[in-house]
Amino acid sequence: MTFLRRLGSVVWWLLNRNRAEQGLADELQAFIDLSAADKMRGGLPAAEARRLAVVELGGVEQAKERVRTYRHGAMLDELGRDVRYAFRIFVKNPGFTIIIVLTLALGIGANTAIFGMIDALMLRWLPVKNPQELVQVTFQAPGATTPPAESFSYVIVRALAEQRQIFSGVAGFSGFRFDVGSPASRVPGAIVTGRYYEALGLNPVVGRLLTREDDEPGASPVVVISYHYWERAFARSSDAVGQNVRMNGVPVRIVGVSPRGFVGANVGSTADLTIAVAAFPQVKPDAAPLLGPGNFWLRVLARPAPGVSRAQAAARLNAVWPQISEPLIAPHWPASRRKEMADSVFQLSPGGTGWTYLREVYRKPLFVLMAAVGLVLLIACANVASLLLARASARQREVAVRLAIGAGRGRIVRQLLIESTLLSLIGAAFGVGLAWVSGRFLVNMISAAPGRVVFDLTPNWHILGFTSAVAIATGVLFGVAPALQTTAAGPSLVLKEDARMSGSRSRLLPWLVSVQVALSLVLLAGAGLFVRTLRNLQNLDPGFKAEGVLLVDLEGRRTAVPDDFLDEIQRIPGVVSASVSTHTPLSGSVWSEPAVPAGQRIPERDNAYFVGAGPRFLSTMQLHLIAGREFTNRDSADSPAVAIVNEAFAQRHFAKQNPVGQHLAANVRGNRTDLEIVGLVRNTNAAGLRKAPPPTVYVAYAQLTGDLPTALAIRATGRIGSVVSAIQQALQSKLPGTAIEVRPLSAQVEATIVQERMMATLATAFGLLALTLACIGLYGLLAYSVAQRTKEIGIRMALGAQGARVVTLVLKGGARLVLVGIALGLPAMWAASRWVESMLFGVTRTDPATIGGAIVLLMAAAQLAAYLPARRASRLDPLGALRHE
């Protein structure tokens, strides 16, 4: 009832505002009339009586204002008035408003862009039923120090799905790119277990989704297409269901379309074609081993059974595991590894945001960048605050008048805060636009070949909420000090003829500038460290020469590659040498086996990287041969097995002896093999630029059996473009139905430092933005102080000070602020750099050259910013300056 009445009174007030204002004025007038009449009866003259009556009332406007603040609905009304007033002020000062809005748009936009990435990568729920219920299943060997493993074998996922008292649904999935159509193109897809869609609680748009039956041995292969693919390839025709898609040359029937917006549980990639694990070998015969117990490749999301909490589910799972584990663990594994797996502990973590390897890679970089843009925003805030402070002097008279005619101080502070919040909301609106545009750029930056990263960065309520919160906090942050400052003097002081700012603002401003300098130093030095890291990685000699090498992946096509295949490519003009290998450097996939000098016991655990390499592989990659020979055509399946080892391997097993001519005992793809070492080759950073070169054994490609991952490596010169199309032509005729992708090895190398490149690029951009903002802040302060000290400078010049001396005077003032800033910034930099230490390469976090460079850059830019006001000061006309004010 009370609420309704209040609401009514608010509405009444809004509708009758003018009448109410008039009524209030009339009533106060009546009060004065009555009071004056009384006083006249007491003998005072009319004018005096009236004056006294007004004094007694304490001012008509003050009384009105106090009544207004008591009235219901007054808040709303005042807000509207304040907003209109604020806009009038903005329009009157367009240049000022534009500078502030631009500064804030950059600051808030940078924050929104980075937050958008964090949101897309880590915070967004999968578009599935009750995503908050989902858990991600991981496991960890007892006593392991490595992070929990995220991949499971197919048999384990199937066994988990049967634990219906623990999980109501279990989804195993992995990404794969299919060759579709002819000529073939690569389409991203997913391989999933039968209960995938059921566990995620999804319903088809058309047709049906995959079921348990599709994931049984012998089931005919069927595919579910994404809504997006349905739209693109079939124009959303319902005839799509029942049609066949040629996947890797095999016709697969479309059974349904998954819901709009759902593109798989693998965040950052799109699964347009989804098939069941059991059907996978029919599309890709060499994938058959993936169904075995030794291959851990499926990520698992599960939904605990109703009423079962995450902790309960984990406890039950760990209780059940020892009873069911025995048949699920690969029988060919060594006993110690089998025991380790049997003793492993399952962990369930929240899984509603899906899975992506990107999270592991980018979590920390994005948090570092978030902190960096936070600092940029602080600098922007300081800039805007000092602009507002500088303008406070211009506004002080206006504010004094308002105080004098009855506005409370709180009321004016509120008005000023509304102005600053409005400014930052306008800045935020532009910032969101800026973030949207730059978001694409960010995603492209982390999109390394071969799998493109796909994020929807359309502003959602997360992002808008975050940005609004940032904007409001920002508005208050940069608005409070100027607002308090402006109103501090009270009405009387400033109405005097020689209105001057009180002293406190000149204390606050220099500190703001010094803090800006300090924060800029942190960002610049940080940027320097990341740039050095990137440079170090780029200049690192990885042991092979990537430039000029082209790669063609022919996964599992070995049997389809005729022997004269490479010879044909070799004949293409521009091709220097062509070779074949199982694993190319830095491809991200590696093969390891146990290998020791003959006579020693072969260990259970793999201890060396293996690479199957064809003839001319070393010369194609320009791997430096130290001793012995490279593989040739004579190293065939019928000749004795040979190997080439790298320095790291030789050092570990042969100390100072020459390994060439020695023999190795190794398990190669499950076969005990005797290998004769025929060559010694330089180390390569094949497993990662930051990682020490691993001990590596090269074995002859022709002497390996079975289906192998196969990639052609071709060194070419001249016009690469024509070489690429010639290669494509030569291969396409031999491999119809396969998408022939020719890509440079250098791109593969670049792909491994995408994160470092992102850090270097963005940290530099934010560092320079911070530097620019800090310099604008310094310029503003000095320009203002020169304007204020016009008279003093005039006197100095009249007394004979030369222009150069005046310049020095102003520059010194600026340099002092910068030095204070640097003194504040160095310890901050020292503390902050600990956090990024692990991200650096080849440079210490306190690298003197980097920090020194940042300081020099900062001082140079600051001197430049200070020079402009200094020069203006030196050109003052002394006489004019003395007459100033």
Q: CA quadruple 636, 641, 647, 649: dihedral positive or negative? A: positive
Minimum distance of another protein from residue 417's CB (angstroms): 24
Stretch that binds another protein, among 28-36, 138-146, 246-254, 710-718 (CB under 8 A): 28-36
Per the CB < 8 A criterion, the answer to whether 479 and 420 are in contact is yes
Minimum distance of another protein from residue 32's CB (angstroms): 9
Q: Can you tell me which of 11, 14, 25, 34 binds another protein, judged by CB under 8 A? A: 34
**Binding of another protein at residue 345 (CB under 8 A)?**
no
Residue among 29 and 244 whose Cβ is closer to another protein? 29
Q: Can you tell me which of 27, 326, 541, 604 binds another protein, judged by CB under 8 A? A: 27
**Binding of another protein at residue 56 (CB under 8 A)?**
yes
Helices 803-836 and 848-874: crossing angle in degrees, nearest 10, is: 150
**Binding of another protein at residue 51 (CB under 8 A)?**
no
**Which tokens sit at 415?**
């008005």
Q: Is 51 left (phi over 0), alpha (psi -120 to 50) or beta?
A: alpha
Q: Can you tell me which of 5, 253, 440, 629 binds another protein, judged by CB under 8 A? A: 5
Residue among 45 and 706 whose Cβ is closer to another protein? 45
**Which tokens sit at 798?**
């009249």
Between strands 742-744 and 549-553, the pairing is antiparallel
Cα–Cα distance, 837 to 526 (Å, whole number):
10
DSSP letters, 819-870, are HHHHHHHHHHHHHHHHHHGGG--SS-TT-HHHHHHHHHHHHHHHHHHHHHHH
- In the three-class reduction of DSSP (H, G, I as helix; E, B as strand; rest coil), residue 459 is classed as coil
Helices 754-788 and 504-539: crossing angle in degrees, nearest 10, is: 150
**For residue 554, which of 741, 681, 306 has the smallest C-alpha distance?**
741
Residue among 44 and 627 whose Cβ is closer to another protein? 44
**Binding of another protein at residue 640 (CB under 8 A)?**
no
Q: Can you tell me which of 7, 14, 15, 30 binds another protein, judged by CB under 8 A? A: 30
Q: Can you tell me which of 17, 72, 310, 535 binds another protein, judged by CB under 8 A? A: 72
**For residue 362, which of 866, 818, 758 has the smallest C-alpha distance?**
758
Stretch that binds another protein, among 20-28, 281-289, 396-404, 464-472 (CB under 8 A): 20-28
**Binding of another protein at residue 11 (CB under 8 A)?**
no
Stretch that binds another protein, among 63-71, 461-469, 819-827, 832-840 (CB under 8 A): 63-71
**Binding of another protein at residue 291 (CB under 8 A)?**
no
**Binding of another protein at residue 70 (CB under 8 A)?**
yes
Cα 201 to chain center, whole Å? Answer: 29
Minimum distance of another protein from residue 57's CB (angstroms): 5
**Binding of another protein at residue 19 (CB under 8 A)?**
no
**Binding of another protein at residue 21 (CB under 8 A)?**
no
**Binding of another protein at residue 17 (CB under 8 A)?**
no
Residue count, binding to another protein (CB under 8 A): 26
Residue among 6 and 805 whose Cβ is closer to another protein? 6
List for the chain the helix, strand, coil content (%; round to 5): 55, 15, 30
Residue among 21 and 674 whose Cβ is closer to another protein? 21
The amino acid occupying position 339 is K
Residue 884 makes CB contacts below 8 A (sequence gap 6+) with 790, 791, 794
Cα–Cα distance, 740 to 569 (Å, whole number):
14
**Binding of another protein at residue 58 (CB under 8 A)?**
yes
Q: Can you tell me which of 17, 62, 538, 743 binds another protein, judged by CB under 8 A? A: 62
Place of tokens 């080439």: 644
Residue among 57 and 882 whose Cβ is closer to another protein? 57
Q: Decide: residue 721, CB within 10 A, 0-12 exposed, 13-18 middle, 19+ buried.
A: exposed
**For residue 210, which of 195, 199, 200 has the smallest C-alpha distance?**
195
Minimum distance of another protein from residue 26's CB (angstroms): 7
Residue among 36 and 206 whose Cβ is closer to another protein? 36
Return the DSSP state at 279.
Answer: G
**Binding of another protein at residue 491 (CB under 8 A)?**
no
Residue among 61 and 847 whose Cβ is closer to another protein? 61
Stretch that binds another protein, among 27-35, 252-260, 726-734, 745-753 (CB under 8 A): 27-35
**Binding of another protein at residue 22 (CB under 8 A)?**
no
Cα–Cα distance, 345 to 180 (Å, whole number):
40
**Binding of another protein at residue 404 (CB under 8 A)?**
no
**Binding of another protein at residue 28 (CB under 8 A)?**
yes
Residue among 23 and 852 whose Cβ is closer to another protein? 23
Stretch that binds another protein, among 56-64, 360-368, 424-432, 860-868 (CB under 8 A): 56-64
DSSP letters, 517-537, are HHHHHHHHHHHHHHHHHHHHH
List interacting residues with another protein (CB under 8 A).
Answer: 5, 9, 23-24, 26-28, 30-31, 33-35, 37-38, 56-59, 62-63, 66-67, 69-72
